[in-house]
Every structure is written in C-alpha cells, then in structure tokens.
C-alpha cells in the first residue's frame, strides 16, 4: 500500500490522513456558541425587563381605567416607547456636543432603563406599587383558571404583599389596629354557648366558663383560607354605578368563593344594623346582613347570602366567629355563588369609608363549627355539631338543655 507521499506503508495499509479538525476549528465553534448564548441571554433579559415594567405600569393604570386598550398602552409606553424617546434624546444631546453619535448600548439600554424604572417604583413608591400588583397584577388573565395562572397569581400576590407592607389608612388605624396584626390564640374547642351557673356559686365542675378573647375571624370556614381568586373579585375592581372614590372602579369589597350553602361567620362581635331577607327587595345585593363593631366605629357587610339565621333582627348581638347565614347567589347575575364581604370605617351616621379587607384576612382566625343559639328547634345545619348536655352538679338542679342549631330562613 502507498502512503500519502506515494510510498508503500510497511503495515500494508494506506494512510488516509487525520480526521480530527485542526485546533482553531474547535476554538471558533466554542466562540460561536458563547456568542449565540450571549445574544440569546441578552434578548431574554431585555424582553423580561420590558415585560415586567409593562405589567407594573399597566397594573397602576388599571386602578384608574377599565379599558383594556388604555392599560396595554400604558404598559407599552412605559416598557418600549419611553426608553426609545429617552435614548433618542440622549443621542441627540451627545451628538451635538461630541460631533458623533454614540451607540448607547442598544438593547442593553432598554434593559437598564426598565431596571431603573422598576427600582424607582419599588423603592420610592413601594406601597402604591405593591397594592397595584396585589390587586391588579393579573388583570390581563381575566378569570382564566389553571395551573400556570394560579401559580402566577400566587407569585404576584407574594410580591405585592412584600412591597406593600400593608398599613391601614390613617382614619382606620384607631378602629382596626388590632385587625392588622396576628390574632391572639384561642382556647382549644371552646364552645360559643356559655354553660349556666348559679349566681354566687362557682361554675359546674368540669365545665368552666372561659371568656373568649376578642379576636377577628375570617368570614368563611377553612381548612383553606379563601381569598379573592382574580383581579375582578378584588377591592377596586370595575362595577357599574356611582361608587365612593376609595373604591376606585367601583368594587367596595372582595368576593370569596365556596359552594352554595357554606356557613358565613361574623368577623367580630357586634350588632346587626342592616338586614334584608327579601332577595327581590335587596336588588343586586340580594339577601344581606350588616354588622356594627367596636361601638359603631367599624361596619362589616355580608352580601349575596342564600339564607339568614331566623333569630337575627336589627339590634341582635352576635359573637365573633358565630354563624349568621349561608353563602349564596341572590342578586348575582353572572357569577358562581360567592360572598361579597366589605369592611368600612364609620365616621358619622351616613358617612363611612370603605377599606380593602384582603390584607387583613391573612391575620384573622379561620372559624370553626361553633353554632349560635337559636330560638326554636329547626333543621340541622350540615357541619354544625351540638355541644353535649351538662351533667347535673351535686345539690343543684339539672342544667337546662342546650339550644339547638339555628334555623335558616
């Protein structure tokens, strides 16, 4: 066999030459890969900063306009148009001074500009930005449900709460100061109905009368803490009609969803000040109950109820965590059964200011199955158990039977 020079190979094989590329080919390939990764990473960073800036500014705009077009315009203007204008202006100024046009970084200018804009929003206006992201950071998703939308909403809520560092409005701090912090621990399995005692004698053995500490309760039972599922259900969402200015686009409360007939609980001990059992008379509110708390300083509203406890009337006293009705869809035209829950500060008769209750719900206890005493026997309520009867104490008359669960009308 001949070698590459036409000579016979001593082994009898022809040397076809090395198949490995020269070293400089490997270097060029790695350089090309690194450059391609850099270009891809650069555009991913630019696109991410433009998208995040657009979401932040469009969420701020969503508090003043319900138009999808204007919200999109605000996001595009903040993420794309404004950086372009600033870059063009800077290039013009530098060109007049130096006589040549600088590049100003191109795509990196967009990323840097949007990062600076986001830092300005987060550090200088964190409370406003956090509130906007928590309430309306998912406005473009509408009522879309699914794994990815839920994960996105959960992340946006976490970011909004972190930036917001929720503070009560100045006029609400005195009345709701204890509602905006973790609630005191409750005694385990403490019944809502106080056991009878004889005046002048201690409580019956084994049945102490323990005072229930004043605390705030979530209006819906657990085990999971129900919160507004999307921007259309949160405070300030779009609603028709003339509404107070603090309600932004009209929604003076939040919508919480559970199946029809789920118990609705009083969030704090108080007095019934408004009650409507006739769904037709209630109009878009349907059946509802308003409670007054803290000597008239705070109002809580429970709207779209399916049934209201039969013994409740204007002036009735209720305890925090006590069931007052069931969740329904009265007055609702295009939605699933839910509870519209509102919270307001009462300044004077006929003058109140609504506040966003969503940040407060994170601190409140989840109510347990604690029935309220009813005036007469009635059908049992699902999930509500009756406390056991008391054994008679030595030398005392047998304790009267515990009242049955409430009747719902």
Residues 234 and 272 in one domain: yes
Domain boundary among the residues 333, 361, 389 is at 361
Question: Do both 250 and 346 map to the same domain?
Answer: yes
Greater confidence, 359 or 206?
Answer: 359
Is residue 190 over pLDDT 60?
no
DSSP-assigned letters across all residues of 231-265: GGGSTT-B-SS---GGGTTB--SEEEE--TT-EEE
Is the pLDDT at 371 greater than 70, yes or no? no
Residue at 6 is within a domain: no
Domain-ending residue, one of 131, 164, 197: 164
* In a domain? residue 394: no
Do 84 and 229 fall into the same domain? no
* pLDDT range class, residue 370, cuts 50, 70, 90: low
CA 255, 190, 293, 355 torsion-angle sign: negative
Give the pTM: 0.77
Q: Which residue has the higher pLDDT, 97 or 371?
A: 97
350 and 252 part of one domain: yes
**Same domain, yes or no: 27 and 156:** yes
Same domain? For 294 and 198 the reply is yes
Whether residue 376 has pLDDT greater than 60: no
pLDDT in tens, 81-123: 998 898 888 888 888 888 777 777 778 888 899 999 999 999 9
**Considering the domain boundaries, does residue 280 fall inside one?**
yes
| pLDDT of residue 300 exceeding 90 | yes
pLDDT for 399:
44
**Is residue 398 within 8 Å of residue 392, measured between CB atoms?**
yes
Residue 375 is assigned to a structural domain of this protein: no
Residue 247 has pLDDT above 50, yes or no: yes
311: Cβ contacts below 8 Å, ≥ 6 apart: 372, 373, 374, 375, 406, 407
- Note the pLDDT of residue 21: 64
First to last CA, the chain: 107
Q: Do 131 and 204 reside in the same domain of the chain?
A: no
- What is residue 50's predicted lDDT score, i.e. its pLDDT? 92
Residues 334 and 287 in one domain: yes
Q: How many domains does the chain have?
A: 2
Task: Establish if 387 belongs to a structural domain.
Answer: no
Residues 152 and 201 in one domain: no
pLDDT for the residue numbered 408: 62
326 domain-assigned: yes
- Residues 185 and 369: their CA atoms lie apart, in Å, by 17
Do the domain assignments include residue 54? yes
Q: What is the CATH number of the domain that holds 258?
A: 2.70.70.10
Report the C-alpha gap between 256 and 343 in whole angstroms.
14
Asked which of 298-307, 336-345, 359-368 is least confident by mean pLDDT, the reply is: 359-368
Same domain, 224 and 279: yes
pLDDT at 197 over 50: no
* Same domain assignment for residues 193 and 330: yes
In a domain, 149, yes or no: yes
Q: What is the mean pLDDT of the chain?
A: 81
The contacts of residue 262 (CB under 8 Å, 6+ apart) are 220, 221, 326, 327
The parent domain of residue 345 ranges over 186-361
Task: List alpha helices for 125-264, DSSP H.
Answer: 126-136, 147-164, 173-176
Structure letter (DSSP) for residue 298: E
What counts of helices (H) and strands (E) characterise the chain?
9, 9
Spatial neighbors of 102 by CB under 8 A, at least 6 apart, are: 91, 94, 95
Same domain flag for 200 and 348: yes
Q: Where a domain ends, among 106, 132, 164?
A: 164
């Amino acid at each position: 066999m001949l070698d590459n020079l036409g000579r016979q190979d001593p082994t009898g094989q022809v040397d076809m030459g090395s198949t490995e590329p020269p070293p400089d080919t490997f270097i060029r390939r790695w350089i090309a890969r690194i450059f391609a990764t850099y270009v891809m990473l650069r555009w991913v960073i630019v696109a991410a900063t433009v998208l995040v800036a657009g979401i932040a500014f469009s969420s701020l705009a969503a508090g003043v306009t319900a138009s999808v077009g204007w919200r999109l315009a605000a996001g595009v203007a903040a993420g794309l148009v404004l950086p372009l204008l600033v870059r063009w202006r800077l290039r013009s100024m530098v060109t007049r001074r130096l006589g040549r046009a600088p590049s100003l970084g191109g795509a990196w200018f967009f990323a840097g500009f949007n990062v600076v804009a986001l830092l300005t929003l987060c550090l200088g206006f964190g409370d406003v930005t956090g509130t906007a992201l928590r309430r309306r950071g998912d406005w473009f998703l509408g009522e879309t449900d699914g794994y990815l939308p839920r994960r996105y909403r959960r992340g946006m809520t976490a970011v909004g709460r972190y930036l917001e560092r929720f503070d009560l409005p100045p006029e609400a701090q005195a009345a709701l100061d204890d509602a905006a912090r973790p609630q005191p621990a409750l005694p385990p399995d403490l019944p809502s109905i106080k056991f009878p005692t004889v005046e002048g004698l201690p409580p019956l053995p084994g049945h102490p009368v323990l005072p229930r500490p004043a605390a705030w309760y979530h209006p819906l039972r657990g085990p999971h803490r129900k919160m507004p599922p999307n921007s259309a259900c949160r405070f300030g969402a779009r609603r028709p009609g003339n509404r107070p200015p603090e309600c932004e686009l009209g929604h003076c409360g939040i919508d919480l969803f559970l199946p029809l007939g789920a118990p609705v609980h009083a969030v704090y001990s108080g007095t019934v000040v408004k009650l409507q059992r006739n769904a037709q008379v209630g109009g878009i509110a349907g059946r509802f109950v308003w409670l007054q708390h803290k000597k008239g300083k705070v109002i809580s509203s429970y709207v779209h109820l399916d049934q209201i406890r039969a013994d409740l009337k204007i002036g009735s006293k209720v305890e925090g965590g006590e069931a007052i009705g069931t969740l329904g869809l009265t007055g609702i035209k295009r939605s699933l059964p839910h509870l519209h829950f509102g919270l307001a500060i009462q300044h004077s008769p006929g003058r109140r200011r609504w506040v966003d209750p969503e940040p407060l719900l994170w601190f409140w206890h989840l109510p347990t199955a604690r029935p309220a005493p009813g005036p007469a026997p009635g059908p049992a309520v699902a999930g509500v158990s009756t406390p056991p009867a008391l054994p008679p104490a030595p030398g005392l008359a047998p304790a009267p039977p515990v009242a049955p669960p409430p009747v719902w009308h």
